[in-house]
Structure 1
């Protein structure tokens, strides 16, 4: 069976994409109208979680952006690109979106900042169980989640390999293991009603901490780790821009915390 160049996972002969689990993940960042974020979160957590999952997708995480009071960040996953097309068609042509979609859309200024991703390496996808999701009305988890986005020139694989083979072991050795490590899914967007960013070559590292101080301590420990001190300059040299970290707090019904 063929394998993917970056992930070493078995691939589908027809598509070349990794098989099994959640092989396709969307990282979605919405810019909202001022003061409307809590309104959207309440609507989302009440109406758009189980109803999306009934179509075959998994709602992975919903977050407030600590650096922008009008930014809502969330992730959802799919078994593969064909399942993504089927699930999105079923949901956005279905009765729940017909009833509540206009109320969601009126809170938004932009919903097109979307990275289409896949697990970077075996076991690097998000490990969640929808059965563990808190019920509506639960308090928000007291956690801090970071999402660091590394961007590399199109077609360049060196940076992602350095992250996979060098930085990730150093992260695990100096603090909590990442929640997930994801890389750009290069397949064409087969549901064009929802645009995604094109021409991207990104790696996203998601981490979870009791609070932001714990995150800072992990970064400080990483900077003193011999392996990280050796590999970070090479990754930064391979990158197209400096990495950008989203500082997030989970909403009450987020699985990723």
Structure 2
């Protein structure tokens, strides 16, 4: 089995609000048509998810080597034949697709890694029991060493005890959006981490560990509890 290898120095966290009843329609199309076709342009599809707390929310993650390759990959995909063939079917499911955070690893060793196992093949329909949680901290200023030390001393041990050691730590990528046709959120200082809980029960036990972070926060923490689709790589 191959060892995990580093994934992406730039990550998009994309949250789409869909028209009622359209989430499974979009997921079916996405898992069938938009994974390999995007990766063929040089980007990496990290995962696709149902937001368990918002029935009309579809969340997905994609990564890039750097901002220049992001521009090239997005230009190739959105100017290419697969998107042109399926864009109307995708767009008709969506109310809003502009809730996008552009992120980078806090340090080179805190990014996501490619898993050592392949993504389920096209046509797979078995969904895993695991839950991916993305926690978003909205900070008063970019994360500093004091904040990171607090996280490592008070948050990571609790999550590790629950069997959900953080898989990656990210912060806002402040560089200018290199593909302005797809807007991203600006003017925020976000610190984010990703964890994978073995199941929904274990996720529900994770409470009360965030108090030490309060002095740095400009807004309440935001938790995205995500159920991986059948073809999500992150699971």
- TM-score clears 0.5: yes
1:133 aligns with 2:111: no
Partner secondary structure for residue 96 of structure 1: helix
Partner secondary structure for residue 123 of structure 1: helix
Q: Is the Cα contact below 8 Å between 1:63 and 1:251 reproduced in 2?
A: yes
Distance 1:249 1:156 in 2: 28
Q: Is the Cα contact below 8 Å between 1:145 and 1:249 reproduced in 2?
A: yes
Query: CA deviation digits over 1:9-38, x for unaligned, max 9?
Result: xxxxxxxxxxx8410000000000111100
Distance 1:21 1:171 in 2: 26
Hey, what does 2:201 align to over in structure 1? 213
Within 5 Å, give how 1:84-99 maps onto structure 2: 84-99=70-85
1:205 is displaced (CA, Å) by 1.3
Hey, what does 1:53 align to over in structure 2? 39
1:193 aligns with 2:171: no
| Residue segments in structure 2 that go unaligned for 5+ positions in a row | 1-5
Distance 2:62 2:175 in 1: 17
Hey, what does 1:181 align to over in structure 2? 169
Aligned length: 228
Query: CA deviation digits over 1:141-192, x for unaligned, max 9?
Result: 1211111110012456367524554345424642332222211111110100
Hey, what does 1:204 align to over in structure 2? 192
Partner secondary structure for residue 183 of structure 1: strand
Partner secondary structure for residue 96 of structure 2: strand
Hey, what does 2:3 align to over in structure 1? none
Distance 1:211 1:172 in 2: 14
1:123 is displaced (CA, Å) by 2.5
Distance 2:185 2:120 in 1: 31
Hey, what does 2:226 align to over in structure 1? 248
Larger RCO (CA under 8 A, 6+ residues apart): 2
1:157 to 144, 149, 154: 144
Partner secondary structure for residue 132 of structure 1: coil
Distance 2:142 2:170 in 1: 16
| Residue segments in structure 1 that go unaligned for 5+ positions in a row | 1-19
Query: CA deviation digits over 1:180-231, x for unaligned, max 9?
Result: 22111111101000000001111111111121221233x25xx5xxxx6xxx
2:153 to 144, 151, 166: 166
Q: Is the Cα contact below 8 Å between 2:138 and 2:221 reproduced in 1?
A: yes
Within 5 Å, give how 1:3-22 maps onto structure 2: 21-22=7-8
Q: Is the Cα contact below 8 Å between 2:160 and 2:166 reproduced in 1?
A: no
Distance 2:197 2:94 in 1: 29
CA RMSD of superposed structures (Å): 2.1
- Report the TM-score, using the length of structure 1 for normalisation: 0.82
1:234 is displaced (CA, Å) by 4.4
Hey, what does 2:133 align to over in structure 1? 146
